Structure 1
Amino acid sequence: MPLIDLSGERFQVEVSGLEGAPPLVLAHSLGCTLNMWDEVAPLFARTRRVIRYDARGHGASAAPDQVYAMGDLGRDVLAILDRLGLAQADFCGLSLGGMVGQWLALNAPQRLTRLVLSNTTAHAGPPRFWDQRIKAVRRDGVEPIASSVIDSWFTPDFRATAPARVASVRAMVTGTSPAGYMGTSAAMRDMDFRHDLKAVRTQTLVIVSDGDRSTPPAWGEAIAAAIPGAKLARLSGGHLSAIEQPEAFVRTVDGFLS
């Protein structure tokens, strides 16, 4: 997986699938890496040019110790598209990735063909929650919060039947740079698109999951209600729907993009 330089900062980007096929960008959750998409990327790559990347603050990408804004994360996506010579792409973001997708739809709609917002929200809750999370990570690192994060992401059934995959996701969380986790948490704390979404004109699909405790279905339903013409799809399972329900996730997204 190559590292590319974008204005002096490194980013890990993986491109797979058919040369010349419609491009699809996959953007992962807080505390994950591009490997969050391991189940679905090969399925999408049968008909699309799949671009997945480690977001700022995650994996092998740059993780400066500073407060990030959602615009920083969105402009990283634009820089990746520029480097790949892509004027437009479909974009599918889950959780944090869906927040980045909302920023793109509001600030760079000309770069999007269609938009999928999965298991996400337009407002990530009271700032004090994120301030406490940032304080805890600054004091003790990411390891102490990993178990509670994983518990909120996966349903009990999936944790029982797929312990190896759950462990691999936990390793992504604990492997996240504390500086990157804190910087991204600040971006999520400061984000609020609730009053802006009515201006989105990109064709949008919103995916919610019945067992999602991190971003409950009502949060996604509110996004779908706010974006003119948005479609809503509901899956079973927990927060990381692309992992718990990969086939259903791909069918749902492909049905929309096609």
Structure 2
Amino acid sequence: MPFLDLSSHRLHYRIDGDKDGCQGKPWLMFCNSLGTDLHMWDAQVAGLRPYFRILRYDRRGHGRSSVPLPPYGLSDLGNDALALLDALEIERVHFCGLSIGGLTGQWLGIHAGERFGKIAVCAASAKIGTAESWTTRMDAVRENGLAALTPATVERWFTPGFSAVEPRSVGKVLDSFVATSIDGYIGCCAALAGADLREDIGLIANPLLAVSGDDDPVCPPADLEDISLRVQRGRHLSLPGRHIVNIESRRAFNVALLEFFGSSTRR
């Protein structure tokens, strides 16, 4: 089980694709949402591994990564991603992040765009929520834990139809949510409370695909359209689903990523 040891914590990561069999294939890095682990991308790995060498990791305080003391800043999350690329000696990679992972992708495009090819920002905004709403969330988690948030989380993340048809898929995501460290969750809520990239994302020169869930109450399609218009080379695509759109519309999501990143697979 691979880990990267940093000064204050360790990151758990996974590489899919045999090194010898991936010569000439581009790297694709995935960054998960708040309260999930790297397995939220299982359907993407299954569909895209013939075309890419895939790197995914558990954000600090999530999954099998360790939990440094909160609070965290968005720059901490972005620098974790860069530290992982440096340690693995990966010079350049495509990036796909969802929710706080999409916010991290925007930060990386602003501050380290030369390390990235194309960037997919999914179910995110340049500013997610308000400082007040995240403070309220942190207080609720401290008092009641994450399990108490599960019913509201299901409603935000998946449509009722998907939850009814695929309860096992929803259950796996919720298991990782409830298992998330309280300090890790609160630390990332603090990063969200302080993150506002609306004035800076115009600096992103990388080709950027903004993917929304058409019924997402957290980051609605208008937020992703706004990102696509503010960056230098952006476009917006809306798919059926709510916040965890990569699972609810996994087939269409994979097709969209392959189409967006796919020119690199022919090099």
TM-score (norm 1): 0.97
Equivalences for residues 209-248 of structure 1 within 5 A:
209-248=213-252
Amino acid at match of 2:15: V
Partner residue of 1:15?
15
Amino acid at match of 2:134: W
Q: Choose which of 172, 186, 198 in structure 2 pairs with 1:182.
A: 186
Q: Distance in 1 between matches of 2:189 and 2:122?
A: 18
How far residue 25 of structure 1 moved from its aligned partner, in angstroms, is: 0.3
User: After superposition, what is the alpha-carbon deviation per residue over 1:38-87, rounded to whole angstroms, capped at 9, x for unaligned?
Assistant: 11112111110000100111011121231100000000000111111101
Equivalences for residues 106-185 of structure 1 within 5 A:
106-185=110-189
Counterpart secondary structure, 2:40: helix
Q: Distance in 2 between matches of 1:141 and 1:123?
A: 25
Moved more, 62-71 or 31-40: 62-71
Q: Distance in 1 between matches of 2:182 and 2:219?
A: 23
Give ranges in structure 1 of 5+ residues lacking alignment.
none
Q: Choose which of 51, 55, 72 in structure 1 pairs with 2:59.
A: 55
Counterpart secondary structure, 2:67: coil
Amino acid at match of 1:74: G
Conserved in 2, the CA contact under 8 Å of 1:159 and 1:166? yes
Residue 32 (structure 2) pairs with residue 28 (structure 1)? yes
Conserved in 2, the CA contact under 8 Å of 1:147 and 1:170? no
How far residue 3 of structure 1 moved from its aligned partner, in angstroms, is: 2.4
Partner residue of 1:77?
81
Quick one: structure 1 residues 65 and 142, their matched pair in 2 at CA, closer, same or farther if it must change by over 3 Å? farther
Q: Distance in 2 between matches of 1:83 and 1:165?
A: 33
Q: Distance in 2 between matches of 1:214 and 1:66?
A: 24
Conserved in 2, the CA contact under 8 Å of 1:122 and 1:223? yes
Q: Distance in 2 between matches of 1:242 and 1:68?
A: 26
Conserved in 2, the CA contact under 8 Å of 1:24 and 1:50? yes
Counterpart secondary structure, 1:39: helix
Q: Distance in 2 between matches of 1:249 and 1:13?
A: 22
Counterpart secondary structure, 1:114: strand
Counterpart secondary structure, 2:175: helix
Q: Distance in 2 between matches of 1:173 and 1:138?
A: 15
Amino acid at match of 2:88: L
Q: Distance in 2 between matches of 1:101 and 1:67?
A: 20
How far residue 8 of structure 1 moved from its aligned partner, in angstroms, is: 5.3
Moved more, 173-182 or 136-145: 136-145
How far residue 186 of structure 1 moved from its aligned partner, in angstroms, is: 0.4
Amino acid at match of 1:19: C
Q: Distance in 2 between matches of 1:138 and 1:243?
A: 29
Q: Distance in 2 between matches of 1:36 and 1:254?
A: 18
Q: Distance in 1 between matches of 2:178 and 2:126?
A: 26
How far residue 19 of structure 1 moved from its aligned partner, in angstroms, is: 2.6
How far residue 9 of structure 1 moved from its aligned partner, in angstroms, is: 2.1
Conserved in 2, the CA contact under 8 Å of 1:33 and 1:59? yes
Q: Distance in 2 between matches of 1:79 and 1:19?
A: 22
